């Protein structure tokens, strides 16, 4: 009996060791490869994050995460079909397989990560909920919003935090609940509501890109209060850990590359680096790609075609964009921020 058990244990160990070191393709990854395209669920149109430009090309920080995943899987950042979704539509779209992943300013919460059957793979952008009001109202603080009419999107953490915040501060409000973001913006700018509340990044995007003439940016103020934590990140369905790992490490690779000074401009030069960490990251020392189940030059492809996290941030939402958002909490941990990638080793 003891012998049998030992033999069984040895067999188990052999199986485990035999599989270590190579990733096994899961069903989602197989389907993506067979299709030759990643189906990425994005928002319907928010400057800096996910927006189809005048040529119909999707651009933004969230779009870059889709592109990074595509570069890791296909060696080509362009093998992505973008599926624009409202906040209300996004979870059904992911559950039903209409998209492989979401990269659309979805907040990581416990219930979404568990009961809805999803896994969050990281944080693309650390955000928090804010309020925007017309300057002419003369409001300086969210605490002065008692009785206000508030525009908000359904199926969001925004809606829930709004109710909590007003209740906690013994204030009342009249919600104007609108699903489509362009209709929310139109309602707010036409004065149908006194206040627009959403993630502060989306308020900044809306103020920078969507104010209709003759109104100007100066006619609107974003109030100082941030009433929640909104860690926004990519989401996948439960069931294919390998695909989840690829999405997780594609974003980490962008962050890690920034930390090690690897950019889209210098990545070819960096291939000659003899720094052991950089060699592992870029695959000149092989092994990391194999462990993840992708090509060993996966990070090279991401950085060459998409850029590192800082490049993407600056270009899409930072100083190189109309949004001009400060790095703040989204600075690297080495710069006092929260962006931190575990080591690629
Ligand atoms: N982060 C909040 C709010 C998200 C939100 O309002 N929505 C998305 C829709 S997925 C958005 O960015 N809307 C603007 C757009 O569609 O571009 C949440 O996850 O509930």
Domains assigned to the chain: 24-126+232-329 (3.40.190.10), 129-228 (3.40.190.10)
Q: Is the CB of 181 under 6 A from ligand 1?
A: yes
Q: What is the pLDDT of residues 279-293, one digit of tens each?
A: 999 999 999 999 999
Ligand 1 atom with minimal separation from the 112 CA: 19
Ligand 1 atom with minimal separation from the 153 CA: 6
Ligand 1 atom with minimal separation from the 50 CA: 17
pLDDT at site 155: 98
Q: What is the pLDDT of residues 292-339, one digit of tens each?
A: 999 999 999 999 999 999 999 999 999 999 999 999 999 999 999 999
Determine contact, residues 121/235, Cβ cutoff 8 Å: yes
Q: Is the CB of 107 under 6 A from ligand 1?
A: yes
Q: How far is the CA of 311 from the centre of ligand 1 (A)?
A: 23
Q: How far is the CA of 151 from the centre of ligand 1 (A)?
A: 13
Q: Is the CB of 201 under 6 A from ligand 1?
A: no
Determine contact, residues 244/253, Cβ cutoff 8 Å: no
Hey, which residues does 232 pair with through a beta bridge? Answer: 107, 125
Tell me the best of 199, 229, 233, 323 to mutate to test the pocket of ligand 1, counting ligand atoms within 8 Å of each CB and taking the most: 199
pLDDT at site 23: 58
Ligand 1 atom with minimal separation from the 89 CA: 10
Q: Is the CB of 99 under 6 A from ligand 1?
A: no
Q: What percent of the chain has pLDDT over 70?
A: 93
Mean pLDDT of the 75-92 span? 98
Ligand 1 atom with minimal separation from the 109 CA: 19
Query: Rounded to whole angstroms, how far apart are CA atoms 107 and 157?
Result: 7
Q: Whose CA is nearest to atom 8 of ligand 1?
A: 87
Whether residue 278 has pLDDT greater than 90: yes
Tell me the best of 104, 185, 204 to mutate to test the pocket of ligand 1, counting ligand atoms within 8 Å of each CB and taking the most: 104
pLDDT at site 255: 99
255 SS3 class: helix
pLDDT at site 2: 46
Q: How far is the CA of 252 from the centre of ligand 1 (A)?
A: 23
Ligand 1 atom with minimal separation from the 232 CA: 1
Question: Quick one: 314 exposed, middle or buried, by C-beta within 10 A (0-12, 13-18, 19+)?
Answer: middle
Alpha-carbon torsion angle 233, 267, 32, 63, nearest 10: 40
Q: Which two tokens stand for residue 101?
A: 């992943």
Q: What is the pLDDT of residues 110-133, one digit of tens each?
A: 999 999 999 999 999 999 999 999
pTM for this prediction = 0.93
Q: Whose CA is nearest to atom 20 of ligand 1?
A: 156
Q: Whose CA is nearest to atom 5 of ligand 1?
A: 87
Q: Whose CA is nearest to atom 10 of ligand 1?
A: 87
- The contacts of residue 138 (CB under 8 Å, 6+ apart) are none
Q: What sign does the dihedral 157-316-338-327 (CA atoms) show?
A: negative
Q: What is the pLDDT of residues 140-164, one digit of tens each?
A: 999 999 999 999 999 999 999 999 9
pLDDT at site 22: 53
Please report which residue ranges of the chain form alpha helices under DSSP H.
2-19, 27-35, 61-74, 87-96, 110-113, 157-168, 181-189, 200-209, 241-259, 267-270, 276-282, 288-292, 298-305, 309-316
Half-sphere exposure of 106 (CA within 13 A, CB side): 32
Q: How far is the CA of 106 from the centre of ligand 1 (A)?
A: 6
144 SS3 class: helix
Ligand 1 atom with minimal separation from the 202 CA: 12
| Best-predicted range by mean pLDDT (1-5, 22-26, 203-207) | 203-207
């Amino acid at each position: 009996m003891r012998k049998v058990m030992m033999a069984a244990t040895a067999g188990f160990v052999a199986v485990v060791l035999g599989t270590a070191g190579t990733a096994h393709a899961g069903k989602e990854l197989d389907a993506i490869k067979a299709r030759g395209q990643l189906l990425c669920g994005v928002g319907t149109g928010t400057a800096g994050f996910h927006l189809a430009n005048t040529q119909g090309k999707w651009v933004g920080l969230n779009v870059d995460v889709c592109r990074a995943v595509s570069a890791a899987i296909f060696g080509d950042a362009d093998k992505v079909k973008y599926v624009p979704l409202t906040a209300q539509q996004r979870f059904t779209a992911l559950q039903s397989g209409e998209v492989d992943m979401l990269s659309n300013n979805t907040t990581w919460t416990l219930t979404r990560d568990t009961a809805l059957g999803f896994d969050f793979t990281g944080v693309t952008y650390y955000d928090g909920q804010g309020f925007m009001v017309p300057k002419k109202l003369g409001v300086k603080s969210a605490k002065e919003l008692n009785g206000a009419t508030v525009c908000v999107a359904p199926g969001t953490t925004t809606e829930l935090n709004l109710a909590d915040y007003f209740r906690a501060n013994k204030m009342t409000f009249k919600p104007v609940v609108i699903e489509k973001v362009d209709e929310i913006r139109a309602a707010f700018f036409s004065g149908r509501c006194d206040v627009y509340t959403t993630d502060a990044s989306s308020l900044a995007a809306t103020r920078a890109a969507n104010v209709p003439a003759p109104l100007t940016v100066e006619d609107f103020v974003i109030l100082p209060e941030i009433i929640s934590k909104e860690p926004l990140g990519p989401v996948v369905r439960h069931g294919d850990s390998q695909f989840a790992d690829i999405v997780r490490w594609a974003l980490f690779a962008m962050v890690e590359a920034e930390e090690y000074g690897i950019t889209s401009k210098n990545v070819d030069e960096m291939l000659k680096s003899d720094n052991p960490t950089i060699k592992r990251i870029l695959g000149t020392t092989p092994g990391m790609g194999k462990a993840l189940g992708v090509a060993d030059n996966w990070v090279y492809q991401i950085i060459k075609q998409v850029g590192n996290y800082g490049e993407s941030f600056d270009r899409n939402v930072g100083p190189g964009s109309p949004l001009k958002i400060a790095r703040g909490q989204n600075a690297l941990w080495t710069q006092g921020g929260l962006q931190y990638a575990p080591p690629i080793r």
